[in-house]
Structure 1
């Protein structure tokens, strides 16, 4: 919990000569969280308490999220400091990698990984995830996967006539909403533009800029590809290896947050219910912390109900999720 982590936060601030912000989005199976624009308000409260300083360290763990939210977060933090460094304890993928590009320096542990920044479109019109206990969960639509699908139709299947390509596109819209596909097209050029602007802060060699963007946007092959510390440095990014003492502090912080957010335990409503047919829940899905302003936590709260219904051939249990709250809450004050 925050009070136990606070001493380690102080140690990082002393060692780095900075003010520390911690941002973690849970990747707990079935109930994870992503970077989104709703972080800007709580981050502003933390930054107002910190004030204008020379240097801010952002310790971040995330699997990604909204690219414009990532862009806005970098600009917000940088408006409060002269120098921004990112500390990565483990995974910092997709929009998290985009945030890292906007720093002056990236501190990566031995297990830390970055990832491609080819965006995945997330929105209410995305396809729903079949069988997910979260009624609001949607399938992210990868920009590169859509592009690869269309390229496969032309290059591998040899479909080049207008009618054939038109049929491929029409079939695609049966599974992915046309407005989502339009957003995919827009996102591709947008992510390249954002990456180029953010790399100006990172102070990479000018001749490396285009190669870095090209690799992160498409040439890595898959959105699941991971980039370790050595490869990130070889790409031309400004990477620092932490001392063993700093590494242990970073790892202690991450291990404590991982345990608090139950990130290794898949969310299963049947386990939550046990032998009962109704149970309330409170799920911790993300947090923002600083010594100066304490903790903001992203919560999902509600009641899980199991109903047994009669169907042809027997009975079937249906799980109903009555969610009563979802959003950020102030929890610990300094």
Structure 2
């Protein structure tokens, strides 16, 4: 029985340890969020999608924008006074277009200043959300991306090209239906982006130029729009992620692996002086 008791205690420990670690991580995150809110006098909302392992069995957390995300963000916005600034920290590959549009629409209607921080990347729907902000603050190496609609596994623009390059008699019915859906999706998304930009006082001509650039398929869907290019396009971007925001991102570690693919000493270095002393 003694051996069985040891085994039972060990099993309970392994069962409880992941939950305790997750609880402690959530506690640290809440503390850092409150620190940012106190410093900036704002409501901080995070939309961060990292592949985290949760629980004893190491189940992975969801890592894309979902309807559940939009419900939570909209709830947070409703709990925020209209005259209080909102800081949204976003790190996402994108996700469900409807969810991204709901979040963007709610942010654009908020009376006080909305700032979106992009520490690493905000692609696709993430960029759509960022466009609703009064200001986008990016790390100098962070990226945004096109918001051109995707129909299944294909870009909507690419589906339409089939009708341009082949006689209609040689195109199957399914492709024709997809092309019709693609045309509607591009029109709808372009109009949504245009309206977002107009709501942020972007001149009509510039809003039309930007909405076309981001939806017309000139780039692949995973094309990285770096800070410099975002600036050239005319987006209201600013470089320099605050240290407290970077510190918060450190509390969202990737799922553990048997062998880490990246290793380094996690501290800033200073260049030694000529005599070998700092």
TM-score normalized by the length of structure 1: 0.60
Taking the aligned partners of 1:41 and 1:165, their CA distance within structure 2 comes to 43
Supply the RMSD in Å over aligned alpha carbons: 2.8
Taking the aligned partners of 1:91 and 1:238, their CA distance within structure 2 comes to 16
Between Structure 1 and Structure 2, how many residues are aligned?
227
Residue 49 of structure 2 corresponds to: 25
Measured after TM superposition, the shift of residue 194 of structure 1 is 0.1
Taking the aligned partners of 1:204 and 1:194, their CA distance within structure 2 comes to 14
Q: What CA deviation, in whole Å up to 9, does each residue of 1:18-41 have, x standing for no partner?
A: 21100123468x986432333333
Higher relative contact order (CA 8 A, sep 6+): 1
Measured after TM superposition, the shift of residue 240 of structure 1 is 1.4
Q: What SS does structure 2 have at the residue aligned with 1:35?
A: coil
* Aligned pair partner of 2:65 in 14, 35, 38: 35
* Aligned pair partner of 2:251 in 226, 245, 256: 256
* Gapped regions of structure 2 (runs ≥ 5): 1-24, 53-59, 259-278
Native 8 Å contact 1:104 1:203 kept in 2 = no
Determine whether 1:216 maps to 2:214: yes
Residue 105 of structure 1 corresponds to: 135
* Aligned pair partner of 1:167 in 167, 170, 183: 170
**Structure having the larger proportion of residues in strand:** 1
**Structure having the larger proportion of residues in helix:** 2
Taking the aligned partners of 2:201 and 2:106, their CA distance within structure 1 comes to 19
Measured after TM superposition, the shift of residue 179 of structure 1 is 5.9
Name the larger-Rg structure: 2
Measured after TM superposition, the shift of residue 2 of structure 1 is 2.1
How do residues 91-240 of structure 1 correspond to structure 2 at under 5 angstroms? 91-121=121-151, 126=152, 140-151=153-164, 154=165, 159=166, 164-170=167-173, 173=174, 181-218=179-216, 220-240=218-238
Native 8 Å contact 1:12 1:20 kept in 2 = yes
Stretches of 4+ aligned residues off by more than 6 angstroms: none
Q: What SS does structure 2 have at the residue aligned with 1:207?
A: helix
Residue 9 of structure 1 corresponds to: 33
* Gapped regions of structure 1 (runs ≥ 5): 127-139, 267-334
Taking the aligned partners of 1:27 and 1:191, their CA distance within structure 2 comes to 28
Native 8 Å contact 2:74 2:103 kept in 1 = no
TM-score normalized by the length of structure 2: 0.71
Native 8 Å contact 1:56 1:83 kept in 2 = yes
Taking the aligned partners of 2:36 and 2:163, their CA distance within structure 1 comes to 48
Q: What CA deviation, in whole Å up to 9, does each residue of 1:49-78 have, x standing for no partner?
A: 434343101111111123332221122244
Measured after TM superposition, the shift of residue 181 of structure 1 is 4.9
CA 1:144–1:22 in structure 2 vs 1: closer, same or farther (change >3 Å)? same
